[in-house]
Amino acid sequence: MMTELVYRRVMRDLKKRILNGEFTTKKLPDERSLSATYQVSRSTMKRAMEILVDQGIIFKKRGAGTFINPLYLKDRSAFRYEGKNLGITDSFQANGKPTKSRLLDYRVIPATAELQQELFLTESDFVYEIKRLRLVADKPVIIETGYIPIKILPTLTPAVAQSSIFSYVQDVQGQTVNRAFLSIHVQPSTAEDQDLLHLKPIEPVGVMSGIFFLDDGTPFEVSTMRLHYRDLKYGTFVNLNED
Amino acid sequence: MMTELVYRRVMRDLKKRILNGEFTTKKLPDERSLSATYQVSRSTMKRAMEILVDQGIIFKKRGAGTFINPLYLKDRSAFRYEGKNLGITDSFQANGKPTKSRLLDYRVIPATAELQQELFLTESDFVYEIKRLRLVADKPVIIETGYIPIKILPTLTPAVAQSSIFSYVQDVQGQTVNRAFLSIHVQPSTAEDQDLLHLKPIEPVGVMSGIFFLDDGTPFEVSTMRLHYRDLKYGTFVNLNED
DNA sequence: TCCAAAAATTGGACCGTATCAATTTTAAAA
DNA sequence: TTTTAAAATTGATACGGTCCAATTTTTGGA
């Protein structure tokens, strides 16, 4: 069992205290005092607080102090924007939706030059090529083509590929897929798109492609998802001051 | 003029070097060497690199090293809605081509139910409705509609609305817009879309909408951009398991 | 040659310090 | 009382260090 990291413990506790309304003034104690009460260094305290800042729960003003975002307490559900954009999270994680999956293709091929690049492989490496059609309520929604290095998942079978590969990874390897680099765009549809996704010839198709990483940073899968444009929904928080 | 922060200088330089292809092996020197060459502490080096990790440009593997995300270098799209350039309200760049902005509409209206939700307003609140057409090389590319509460920016004028609202906020209120919730989808086009963006009736339109927040968490603006679907491109780094 | 153990490498967590900048508070002056 | 200047507060940046965990490389023995 992994011992919980200090800054996460502090972060969680502080968050809990905020939600419990322990800070009636809407102002938190200063960093130095907080780090003293938690018996951690100020750097760790800052790290914990920074996460809450990113979540929009608190904000800091140099020279003045740290304050609780009143809107957060007022209506926390409004801060959970996830409800609006089930688009992608759904296809990442198997969260209880009535989705089915049909295996269109499943084979092992040598890694192409492009795949070698993207998954950090060599010429001698092989990958699974997995093509699936995802159905929601028996309607085809996503055509997904994914490539996974054999050496990462030597025990993969078609049966597994048909259901959730990600949870399989978690079971077998104890690792989670939790980061991805995604690129989203829309392009003219192919005949196959039109056929499977019920698109008219002139209608375009939505494409989400990206690399998925394991906990430890290993590139795990390269995947392209093609979907009806009406299903292309994506929402995210963006920090604007990072350039 | 503010002297540039050390970690930002290092971050920018490293980013530049990566994009220039200086690290052919797709592997960066280790943190300790890098901090030595940049003459900064390891903590500062980590801070600089962490930003690039968040941007999806590099990723790290403990014990192994730091690597360049191969997808990042490839597929650089026409528009990059990243960082500051995420300019729904403000500056967005298009490969150095000259962009113009035409004010289509500017009025004050009562906040609709939806706006009340998104901007935390009440029935008695009013908002500016600002509609602009953005042109790249004299061709209309984006139809943008934004809503800003009067009580946040009582002094806004059409002249300002045509140029940069964000920097205006900074000047007048000393606040920055530094976070946004951005959502992307595609929907059937309206007659106006078809007209302005040269879409055929059956072709859909790309929509990017965002809620922008000030430092203190106040929602500052709701904005919607409608654009030709071929221009709808977005790259992002996703973290799935956050508390 | 091959394999397992040991060593070196590399990123992660945490600590503590010094200095600075923005803001608020206090004290002094008008 | 009001205004102004100094002092204290508070978060931000930057430094450098220790220890640890994951991975890779080297080494030594079978």
The tally of domains found in chain B comes to 2
Q: What number is the average pLDDT over the span A132-146?
A: 84
B40 touches strand D (CB under 7 A): yes
pLDDT given at position B182: 81
Is 50 exceeded by the pLDDT of residue A82?
no
**What spatial distance separates the first Cα and last Cα of chain B, rounded to whole Å?**
38
pLDDT given at position A220: 85
With CA of A39 and C1' of each nucleotide, the nearest comes out as C15
Name the E strands within A29-125. Answer: 58-61, 65-68, 99-110
pLDDT given at position B35: 97
Is 60 exceeded by the pLDDT of residue B19?
yes
Q: What percent of chain B stands above pLDDT 70?
A: 80
B4 compared with B77, residue with greater pLDDT: B4
A4 touches strand D (CB under 7 A): no
Phi, then psi, of B134 in degrees rounded to 5? -100, 135
B133 touches strand D (CB under 7 A): no
Q: What number is the average pLDDT over the span B128-151?
A: 87
Using a CB-CB cut-off of 8 Å, the residues of chain A touching B53 are none
Top-ranked range on mean pLDDT: pick from A36-40, A180-184, B148-152? A36-40
Q: In what order do the strands lie in the sheet with B233-239?
A: A99-110, A126-136, A139-149, A219-228, A204-214, A177-188, B233-239
Name the E strands within chain B. Answer: 27-28, 58-61, 65-68, 99-110, 126-136, 139-149, 177-188, 204-214, 219-228, 233-239
Using a CB-CB cut-off of 8 Å, the residues of chain A touching B115 are none
The four Cα atoms A4, A8, A10, A15 give a dihedral, to 10 degrees, of -130
SS3 A33: helix
C-beta neighbour count of B76 within 10 angstroms: 11
Confidence of residue B166 (pLDDT cuts 50, 70, 90): low
Q: Looking at the structure, do residues A88 and A178 belong to the same domain, yes or no?
A: yes
SS3 A232: coil
pLDDT given at position A95: 43
Is 70 exceeded by the pLDDT of residue A174?
no
- Quote the mean pLDDT of chain A: 82
Confidence of residue A89 (pLDDT cuts 50, 70, 90): very low
Interface ipTM: 0.85
pLDDT given at position B47: 97
The answer as to whether B60 is a domain residue is yes
Q: Hey, is the C-beta of A183 within 8 angstroms of any chain B C-beta?
A: yes
Top-ranked range on mean pLDDT: pick from B40-44, B152-156, B165-169? B40-44
Q: Looking at the structure, do residues B11 and B98 belong to the same domain, yes or no?
A: no
Please count the residue pairs, one from chain A and one from chain B, whose beta carbons lie less than 8 angstroms apart: 176
B36 touches strand D (CB under 7 A): no
Q: Which CATH number covers residue B167?
A: 3.40.1410.10
Q: Are strands B58-61 and B65-68 parallel, antiparallel or unpaired?
A: antiparallel
Q: Looking at the structure, do residues A54 and A10 belong to the same domain, yes or no?
A: yes
Q: Looking at the structure, do residues B16 and B63 belong to the same domain, yes or no?
A: yes
The answer as to whether A152 is a domain residue is yes
Q: Hey, is the C-beta of A159 within 8 angstroms of any chain B C-beta?
A: no
pLDDT given at position B97: 56
Q: What number is the average pLDDT over the span A190-215?
A: 90
How far apart, in whole angstroms, are the C-alpha atoms of residue B177 and residue B179?
6
Q: What number is the average pLDDT over the span A158-183?
A: 67
The answer as to whether B36 is a domain residue is yes
Q: What number is the average pLDDT over the span A125-139?
A: 85
The answer as to whether B243 is a domain residue is no
Top-ranked range on mean pLDDT: pick from A94-108, A221-235, B24-38, B130-144? B24-38
How far apart, in whole angstroms, are the C-alpha atoms of residue A188 and residue B120?
39
Give the model confidence (pLDDT) of A51-77 as tens digits. Answer: 999 888 999 999 999 999 888 877 666
Question: Which of the listed residues B73, B97, B117 is the one where a domain comes to its end?
Answer: B73
The answer as to whether A241 is a domain residue is no
Q: What number is the average pLDDT over the span A167-172?
A: 58
Is 90 exceeded by the pLDDT of residue A125?
no
One-letter identity of residue B212: F
Alpha helices by DSSP H, B137-225? 158-162, 165-173, 191-197
Phi, then psi, of B116 in degrees rounded to 5? -60, -45
Q: Which CATH number covers residue B32?
A: 1.10.10.10
Q: Looking at the structure, do residues B60 and B177 belong to the same domain, yes or no?
A: no
The whole-angstrom distance between residue B97's C-alpha and the CA centroid of its chain comes to 18
pLDDT given at position B175: 67
Name the E strands within A150-232. Answer: 177-188, 204-214, 219-228
Top-ranked range on mean pLDDT: pick from A184-188, A236-240, B35-39? B35-39
Q: Looking at the structure, do residues B40 and B89 belong to the same domain, yes or no?
A: no
Top-ranked range on mean pLDDT: pick from A42-56, A64-78, A206-220, B154-168? A42-56
Q: Looking at the structure, do residues B92 and B153 belong to the same domain, yes or no?
A: yes
Q: Which domain holds residue B188?
A: 83-231
B63 CA, D26 C1': Å apart:
16
Contact yes or no for A237/A51 (Cβ under 8 A): no
Q: What percent of chain A stands above pLDDT 90?
A: 38
Nearest-CA distance A175 → chain B (Å): 12
Across the strands, what pairs with A208? A184, A225
Q: Hey, is the C-beta of A113 within 8 angstroms of any chain B C-beta?
A: no
Is 70 exceeded by the pLDDT of residue A90?
no
How far apart, in whole angstroms, are the C-alpha atoms of residue B55 and residue B59?
10
How far apart, in whole angstroms, are the C-alpha atoms of residue B235 and residue B75?
10
Please give the residue of chain B at the shortest CA–CA distance from A91.
B240
pLDDT given at position A169: 60
C-beta neighbour count of A155 within 10 angstroms: 9
Please give the residue of chain A at the shortest CA–CA distance from B203.
A203
Question: What tokens were used for A204?
Answer: 């375009």
The answer as to whether A240 is a domain residue is no
SS3 B110: strand
Alpha helices by DSSP H, chain A? 6-19, 31-37, 42-54, 70-74, 87-92, 113-119, 158-162, 165-173, 191-197
Nucleotides on strand C with an atom closer than 7 A to protein CB?
8-17, 21-24
Q: Looking at the structure, do residues A115 and A49 belong to the same domain, yes or no?
A: no
Is 60 exceeded by the pLDDT of residue A148?
yes
B24 CA, C1 C1': Å apart:
34
Q: Looking at the structure, do residues A96 and A118 belong to the same domain, yes or no?
A: yes
Q: Please answer yes or no on whether B178 and A202 come within 8 Å at the CB atom.
A: no
Question: Which of the listed residues A62, A79, A96 is the one where a domain comes to its end?
Answer: A79
The answer as to whether B114 is a domain residue is yes
pLDDT given at position A60: 94
Q: Looking at the structure, do residues A13 and A120 belong to the same domain, yes or no?
A: no
The answer as to whether A61 is a domain residue is yes
Count how many Cα atoms sit within 13 Å of the Cα of residue B50 in the half-sphere of its side chain: 7
How far apart, in whole angstroms, are the C-alpha atoms of residue B56 and residue A151?
24
- Quote the mean pLDDT of chain B: 81
pLDDT given at position B77: 45
Q: What is the largest CA-CA distance in chain B?
A: 60
Q: Looking at the structure, do residues A159 and A58 belong to the same domain, yes or no?
A: no
Give the model confidence (pLDDT) of B73-128 as tens digits. Answer: 765 543 344 433 343 334 444 444 566 778 899 999 999 998 998 888 889 999 99
Contact yes or no for A85/B238 (Cβ under 8 A): no
Question: What tokens were used for B127?
Answer: 């908002």
The shortest CB-CB distance from B185 to any of A177, A233, A237 is to A233
Question: Which of the listed residues A26, A50, A79 is the one where a domain comes to its end?
Answer: A79
Q: What number is the average pLDDT over the span A17-34?
A: 92
Q: Looking at the structure, do residues B189 and B167 belong to the same domain, yes or no?
A: yes
Nucleotides on strand D with an atom closer than 7 A to protein CB?
8-17, 21-24
Is 60 exceeded by the pLDDT of residue A227?
yes
Residues of chain B numbered 52-81 and touching chain A (CB < 8 Å):
54-56, 59-62, 64, 67, 69-72, 75, 77
Confidence of residue B129 (pLDDT cuts 50, 70, 90): very high
Is 90 exceeded by the pLDDT of residue B155?
no
Question: What tokens were used for A15?
Answer: 């968050």
Q: Hey, is the C-beta of B239 within 8 angstroms of any chain A C-beta?
A: yes
